[in-house]
Each structure stands twice: as C-alpha cells, then as structure tokens.
C-alpha cells in the first residue's frame, strides 16, 4: 500500500473510527495535517516517556505496544493491527506515553497531530464523541488485562484467550501471532504457555494443528476454565 497523496490519506482516514464521523470539509482539512510513513520491522515508533505529539493509525502491518520491567522482561500489552490506532491517550493531558511502540513487521502508519485533532473536535461533535468512546474502550481493555494477570491462573488465562479468539460457529482458533508474543500478552513465560497448552491437550480440551491453528475439542470445558 502507498499512502502519500492528500486524496489517498483522506480516503484512508475515512476507514478509521473516529475519523469516519467527520464531514467532508473537516476530513479534507484534517488530512492536510496527516503524515504517512512506512516503517520496517523492529523500528521503534514511540519511546516510553517521550511524547509523540499526536496519535497513530495503522494502515498496514502491525505494531506492538509494550512495557519493559525492571528486570528487563518485555510485557506486550496490545498488538495494533491494520485498522487500529494507538497513542490516543496522549491527546488529553497524558503528554508522555506509558507504553512504547515497535513495528513487528513492515508497516504503513498515519500520524495525526494533536493540534489538528483538538482543533477539529469543537465543530465535529460526532467525531469528538466517537474518540471519547474509543478512549473509554481502551480503559476497559486495560482493566480486563489487569484482571487477567492478577486474578486468573495461567490455565485460566490461556483458556480465556482461546475462547476469546474462536468464532462462535467454529471450533478452530487461528493464532494471530507467534506463541512467544501471546505468552507475553498473557504475562506468562513461553515455557509456562507451552506447558499449559500441553496440559490442555492431554485433558482433551484442545488439539494443536500446526504452528498457528488449535482445535477446541471441548469448548464447554475451556469456557468453564475461563470463567
């Protein structure tokens, strides 16, 4: 994907919430301030504690948002994929991001400056409300992530993850990323994650199929574990 011209940036913006709530004039004006950039795998997009001055939209690729513990261990909080956004929490008061951001593959990002967003909000109430709703969901996701790490056992975390990523009408889960990344998201070591998968396999709850597919052979059992 190449997103360089003003019409291309404007068209791409219109596919993202909350920017799909802008009227044509506001969208065209905001698009003039947006910067598109292509980044390579491993490139650091945002450093923790260093204000980006706006928010990012992932037009293509994937970016991990993570923390580094005092012991040097990486904890992935969220993966932002195509159609997702990040750093919106820095738009209102939180000048310095809590999380660092790094590309996990070649990606195309759109950067929207804070000044352009805050100037647009007073005249575009639907856009402002959609942005607030997005921030509210982010808070909910963080609380759910804290609950997952603090209150649930390793088995409960893995069972919850598998059930959450399975379609209602399918017993197969296609893992969206490698197992090491999933383990980090669940605040588990890769070894613990593998042990839990092996235990669930022995118990007849799942059946691994290759590197990225898992059959939920006993979904009710997994749902009880995840509760």
pLDDT (tens digit per residue) in 12-70: 999 999 999 999 999 999 999 999 999 999 999 999 888 899 999 999 999 999 988 77
Q: At what angle do helices 154-164 and 190-202 cross, to 10 degrees?
A: 80
pLDDT tens profile 109-123? 999 999 999 999 999
Contact 94, 88 (CB under 8 A): no
Higher pLDDT, residue 202 or 143: 202
**CB neighbours of residue 161 within 10 Å:** 20
Contact 221, 203 (CB under 8 A): yes
pLDDT-above-70 percentage for the chain = 97
Element holding 184 (H helix, E strand): helix 179-185
Q: What is the pTM of this model?
A: 0.79
Spatial distance between the Cα atoms of 131 and 8, rounded to a whole number of angstroms: 22
What are residue 55's phi and psi, to 5 degrees? Answer: -120, 160
CA angle 40, 183, 149 (to 5 degrees): 120
Contact 57, 33 (CB under 8 A): no
- Cα 149 to Cα 101, 123, 168, 177, distances in angstroms: 21, 41, 25, 19
């Amino acid at each position: 994907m190449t997103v360089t011209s003003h019409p291309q940036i404007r068209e791409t913006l219109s596919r993202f919430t909350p920017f799909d709530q802008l009227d044509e004039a506001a969208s065209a004006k905001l698009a003039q301030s947006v910067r598109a950039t292509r980044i390579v795998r491993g490139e650091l997009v945002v450093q923790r504690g260093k204000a980006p001055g706006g928010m990012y939209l992932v037009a293509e690729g994937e970016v991990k948002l993570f923390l580094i513990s005092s012991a040097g261990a990486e904890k992935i909080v969220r993966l932002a994929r195509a159609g997702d956004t990040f750093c919106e929490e820095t738009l209102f008061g939180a000048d310095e991001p809590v999380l660092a951001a790094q590309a996990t593959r070649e990606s195309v990002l759109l950067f929207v400056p804070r000044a352009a967003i805050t100037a647009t909000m007073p005249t575009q109430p639907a856009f402002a409300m959609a942005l607030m709703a997005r921030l509210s969901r982010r808070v909910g996701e963080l609380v759910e992530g804290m609950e997952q790490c603090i209150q649930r056992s390793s088995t409960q975390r893995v069972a919850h993850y598998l059930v959450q990523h399975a379609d209602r009408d399918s017993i197969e889960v296609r893992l969206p990323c490698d197992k090491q990344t999933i383990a980090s998201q669940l605040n588990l070591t890769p070894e613990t994650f593998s042990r839990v998968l092996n235990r669930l396999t022995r118990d007849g709850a799942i059946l691994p199929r290759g590197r990225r597919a898992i059959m939920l052979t006993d979904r009710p059992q997994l749902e009880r574990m995840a509760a």
